[in-house]
């Protein structure tokens, strides 16, 4: 069956992803996930965006914290801190088990795609979730404090450094996940979820062959910027530092001619005329499951109308 490919980063995009998973069957939908912010920490392979999506789709995400797993405890990381260990990355006790299982599978020569399939299945997720690539791509944030590994910028430095650019180390030799390539061969359309354009979506779009593969497929994006602010994360701050207006039209311009359609929030309706691509306006703030489903339906209908 002709499928829809949803491109997503972590927490923000995962909200729309959950909505999509509620209206499209496992045969109709594939999630392609950023792995540019993956990193090795304490000997573990951590894939923050895959994990955020996994927890969201399993409805096991921690709603109080806005990240991580529900019902989490922190004995490990607190004890590690007491022993003088590295505790800036707050690994929950349950979350740690997921990283351990992935790492063990990678050590046993599984691919990240295979490890992700195993783990999402264990969470009862029936939809296909795939890393953008099985090869190592690592986002480097260039900033006024020098070049920082993404998680050092994002978690350790809490996005305080002013960014000047991004680099996806390893991208030239990384292979687009074959499951994504295959999905795009018979694809109804692509939805770019409201994730950070620079550090969640661009790594995926920068994979060799990805933009070419999207050429004849309808692509829409949902703006992660609403009313000049990012719903989640440092997107608006980054845009300001890059001398780009923190606005929905600037997001549309960033994606450029890749897009066939753009979805922006009602709040920004007055900026619609600044966008050259076909744009629809709706409520995009997904503070309930109902809103996630409604926005998902809106996007799928938009894709079909293109």
Question: Least distance to a copy of itself from the beta carbon of 86, Å?
Answer: 7
- Please report whether residue 39 would count as binding a copy of itself according to CB under 8 A: no
Question: Least distance to a copy of itself from the beta carbon of 230, Å?
Answer: 31
- Please report whether residue 96 would count as binding a copy of itself according to CB under 8 A: yes
Per CB under 8 A, contacts with a copy of itself among 99-118 are: 100-101, 103-104, 107, 118
- Please report whether residue 42 would count as binding a copy of itself according to CB under 8 A: yes
Q: Give the residue, chosen from 63, 84, 146, 243, that forms a contact with a copy of itself under the rule CB under 8 A.
A: 84
- Please report whether residue 97 would count as binding a copy of itself according to CB under 8 A: yes
Q: Give the residue, chosen from 2, 73, 158, 288, that forms a contact with a copy of itself under the rule CB under 8 A.
A: 73
Which of 71/146 has CB closer to a copy of itself?
71
Q: Give the residue, chosen from 7, 14, 33, 77, that forms a contact with a copy of itself under the rule CB under 8 A.
A: 77
3-state SS string over the chain? CCEEEEEECCHHHHHHHHHHHHHCCCCCEEEEECCCCCEEECCEEECHHHHHHHHHHCCCECCCCCCCECCCCCHHHHHHHHCCCCCCCCCCHHHHHHHHHHHHHHHCCCCHHHHHHHHHHHCCCCCEEEECECCCCEEEEEECCEEEEHHHHHHHCCCCCCEEEEEEECHHHCCECHHHHHHHHCEEEEEECCCCHHHHHHHHHCCCCHHHHCCCCCEEEECCEECCEECCCCHHHHHHHCCCCCCHHHHHHHHHHHCCEEEEEHHHHHHHHHCCCEEEEECCCCCCHHHHHHHHHHHHHHHHHC
Q: Give the residue, chosen from 86, 144, 186, 301, that forms a contact with a copy of itself under the rule CB under 8 A.
A: 86
Which of 90/94 has CB closer to a copy of itself?
94
Question: Least distance to a copy of itself from the beta carbon of 144, Å?
Answer: 29
Which of 93/283 has CB closer to a copy of itself?
93
Q: Which residues bind a copy of itself (CB under 8 A)?
A: 42-44, 72-73, 75-80, 82-86, 92-94, 96-98, 100-101, 103-104, 107, 118-119, 122
């Amino acid at each position: 069956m002709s499928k829809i490919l949803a491109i997503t980063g972590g927490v923000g995009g995962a909200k729309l992803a959950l909505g999509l998973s509620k209206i499209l069957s496992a045969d109709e939908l594939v999630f392609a996930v950023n792995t540019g912010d993956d990193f090795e920490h304490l000997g573990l392979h951590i894939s923050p965006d895959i994990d955020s999506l996994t927890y969201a789709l399993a409805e096991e995400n921690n709603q109080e914290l806005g990240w991580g797993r529900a019902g989490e405890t922190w004995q490990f990381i607190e004890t590690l801190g007491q022993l003088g260990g590295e505790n800036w990355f707050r690994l929950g006790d349950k979350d740690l088990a997921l990283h351990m299982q992935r790492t063990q599978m990678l050590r046993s020569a599984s691919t990240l795609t295979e490890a992700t399939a195993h783990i999402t299945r264990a969470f009862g997720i029936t939809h296909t979730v795939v890393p953008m690539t099985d090869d190592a791509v690592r986002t480097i944030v260039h900033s006024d404090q020098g070049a920082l590994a993404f998680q050092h910028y994002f978690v350790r430095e809490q996005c305080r450094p002013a960014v000047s650019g991004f680099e996806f180390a390893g991208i030239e030799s990384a292979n687009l996940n074959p499951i994504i390539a295959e999905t795009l061969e018979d694809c109804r359309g692509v939805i770019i979820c409201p994730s950070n354009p620079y550090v969640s979506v661009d790594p995926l779009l920068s994979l060799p062959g990805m933009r070419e593969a999207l050429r004849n497929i309808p692509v829409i994006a949902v703006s992660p910027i609403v009313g000049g602010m990012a719903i989640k994360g440092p997107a608006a701050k980054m845009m300001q530092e890059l001398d780009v207006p923190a606005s929905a039209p600037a997001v549309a311009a960033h994606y450029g001619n890749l897009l066939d359609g753009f979805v922006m929030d009602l709040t920004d309706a007055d900026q619609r005329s600044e966008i050259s691509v076909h744009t629809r306006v709706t409520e995009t703030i997904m503070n309930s499951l109902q809103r996630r489903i409604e926005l998902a339906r809106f996007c799928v209908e938009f894709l079909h109308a293109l």
